[in-house]
Amino acid sequence: MNWTWLFDLDDTLISNHHDYAYTQIALAEFLFEVIGYRAPDLQTIINLQADIDVKNVKSMGFRMERFPTSCQQTYEEVCRTLNIPLNGEHQRTAYNIGLQVFDERYWKKKEMLEGAEDTLEFLAEQGDELLLLTKGDQTVQEKKVVFYQLKRFFETENIHIVPQKNKEVIEKVISDRDKSRVYSVGNSIRSDVEPSLAAGVKVIYIPCETWQWEREHKGMPEDPNLIKMEKISDIKDNYYLLSQRA
């Protein structure tokens, strides 16, 4: 075994952010229908939902209930702003629209991101160790592990689902491994790059900062342990150079 690779899941190995965007559009279409010409424009509704969703992270974290709750609260806020009485059925509908993002039926046409499977297979062939560290709702992330058959690449004991990523979480997952031979791979400066660098491991950043919460940071750090790549297959293409950085 040469190296340990700590992979993020959403928008690093699989596509995730468009699922939420489609749901925001569905919410806007619903508001257009039930409120009519007084409804805000599409971008205003999307921005409002995103703002509410980010605020709800403080109280609800990354549990499955947060996003649909934010959709319901978006409907409620629009009604309050326009002085429209709330409708219980409409509140439930807005919540259920938010739940659509977790419906496995919407994953049927999806595959892992281009180059992800080939890269994981290549690293395993080198005798490297593969770890998965994904942030989110336990039930939802477990479903993704099954749907994408991720145990083809990651041993069960090497799959870690956590409510939040920080320095302490990454250090716990890395355990007593030699940090100089660990690469963390992810798409978010806030959730992947910053905590991984704080934990003392090397980081490969593949940009795809998918929603407002993830974009709230001070920019890309300047650190010799940080490498920016454009796509996940760059790991395979540059493996020899990466392996010289111990």
pLDDT value at position 104?
80
Average pLDDT of the chain is 92
pLDDT in tens, 127-162: 999 999 999 899 999 999 999 999 999 999 999 999
pLDDT in tens, 2-31: 899 999 999 999 988 788 888 999 999 999
216 compared with 20, residue with greater pLDDT: 20
pLDDT value at position 209?
62
Cβ-in-10-Å burial (0-12, 13-18, 19+) of 239 comes to middle
CATH code of 4-15+108-242, in short, is 3.40.50.1000
d(CA 185, CA 101) in angstroms, rounded, equals 25
3-state secondary structure of 230: coil
Quick check: 211 pLDDT over 70? Answer: no
Letter for the amino acid at 63? R
Run of H or E residues at 39: none
pLDDT in tens, 73-83: 999 999 999 99
Q: Where are the domains of the chain?
A: 4-15+108-242, 17-104
pLDDT in tens, 65-105: 999 999 999 999 999 999 999 999 999 999 999 999 888 87
Quick check: 1 pLDDT over 60? Answer: no
pLDDT value at position 141?
93
182-186 and 4-7: which strand pairing? parallel
Among residues 56, 57, 99, 92, the alpha carbon closest in space to that of 75 is found at 92
Quick check: 221 pLDDT over 90? Answer: no
